[in-house]
Chain A
């Protein structure tokens, strides 16, 4: 049994939250650069240039690339052979978020649903824990912004809707979202499972690097089809019109009930903020 302290977890989560806010992922930078080469709309090109410049300013100045530094969503892959000592795992993660958001001058964006009173420290974080083989912990922090999250949906399709119905639903959702989620977007699609599992699948899809297809050829094909159809919508960067509306689509799927076809669409803006560490 390998041991790790709660303190080490707090420190790692703190560093991940800072890093996610300041440093745009390499895969996103490359996708934006590719997008800039392909975009035909002048206003769209201008937006993509601004986003690349923005990423550089944030990276060099250790400045948040967006003011919505997000709700902290942490995915934990907890090795079955590791033991967390010196504190509660969940509390250690909340404390890491608390410290990271405070010390890095990140925005506290969590509030009571009714009164809207800010909780003051960007907690509680949302924690998804999966037990895996081995003796390491993998922590992935996604700083999930509100704008893109608000455009996300879960829908219980009918089995007869089929693949075509799924694709139609996803594309329609993106069409309805328009400029709101800060295009160019990254789209996570969860298919199957149950109502809540489909949503989680969609969010797990968003942890993938842009351009990394699903290893299943059928799902990879679906990702390509959805991306192509989205980019025909004409929404463009910042919704100002253009052909680069989405940088990538990630589909995740698992078996579902014989009566159901759950589909979830989780949208990320172009910040696509997530950082990971294995300790």
Chain B
């Protein structure tokens, strides 16, 4: 387990293969956002063989739907949403070059398999610590699907955005490890 890794997208295989479940990582640079509706639109386009409005190669997607931005602030409250709802969509995006996802909650076997096969990592941010997390977001701009309101695709500039590796490229799972260590029979 390494101590405090800093990641700056776009990421290559070598940036993620050394990470292990439980590693604390700070993301500095650009992250894209997207959740349920945006993922559906992106995957619908990919299945039709059409161009995406954003380039996913090497990127990290943060599953988030923020509160509206107060004037003078970069973004509203912006903690992670629950990731399993994107499980149907993540494998194809990972196949197309997505290198990281930030959310909360466990992923399906299909997603974990795709991460192992194509070298991508799933990180968790602390669910509900949204005010704290938002402080690490320097700026936010809508890139696509403004009509989706909180579900639009945004580009975030972040500094020292704290996450923890949940699933690494070897198929390890931090949630499973936690239960093994702390469950009492």
Contacts and interface: CB of A to CB of B under 8 A. Distances in A.
Nearest to B150: A107
Contacts, number: 159
A84 interface: no
Given A66-B79, A178-B105, A180-B105, A241 B178 contact: yes
Interface in B125-164: 126-132, 134-135, 148-151, 164
B77 A233 contact: no
Given A63-B131, A118-B148, A239 B70 contact: no
Contact of A50 (B64, B132, B134): B132
B126 A57 contact: no
Interface residues of B, number: 46
Given A67-B76, A67-B79, A108-B149, A43 B65 contact: no
A58 interface: yes
A67 B132 contact: no
B127 A238 contact: yes
B177 to A, nearest CB: 7
Interface in B158-178: 164, 174-175, 177-178
A173 B150 CA distance: 30
Given A67-B67, A107-B150, A232-B184, A57 B106 contact: no
B128 A269 contact: yes
A11 interface: no
A14 interface: no
B179 A69 contact: no
Which of A44, A147, A270 lies at the interface centre, i.e. has the most chain B CB atoms within 10 A of its CB? A147
Interface in A210-243: 232-236, 238-243
Given A116-B37, A179-B104, A239-B105, A63 B82 contact: no
B104 A238 contact: yes
Nearest to A50: B129
Contacts of B79: 66-68
B139 to A, nearest CB: 17
B124 interface: yes
B78 interface: yes
Contacts of B67: 64, 67, 69, 105-107
Which of A43, A242, A243 lies at the interface centre, i.e. has the most chain B CB atoms within 10 A of its CB? A43
Which of A43, A47, A241 lies at the interface centre, i.e. has the most chain B CB atoms within 10 A of its CB? A241
Contacts of B175: 178-179, 235, 239-241
B69 interface: yes
Interface string A171-204: 0000000111010000000000000000000000
Contacts of B70: 105
Contacts of A233: 179, 183
Interface string A57-76: 11001011111110000000
What are the nearest 4 A-B pairs in CB distance?
A241-B178, A234-B183, A234-B182, A182-B127
22 contacts: A43-B178, A54-B130, A54-B131, A57-B135, A66-B77, A68-B65, A69-B77, A105-B67, A105-B70, A107-B65, A109-B150, A116-B36, A147-B104, A147-B105, A178-B175, A179-B105, A234-B180, A234-B184, A235-B175, A235-B182, A240-B175, A241-B175
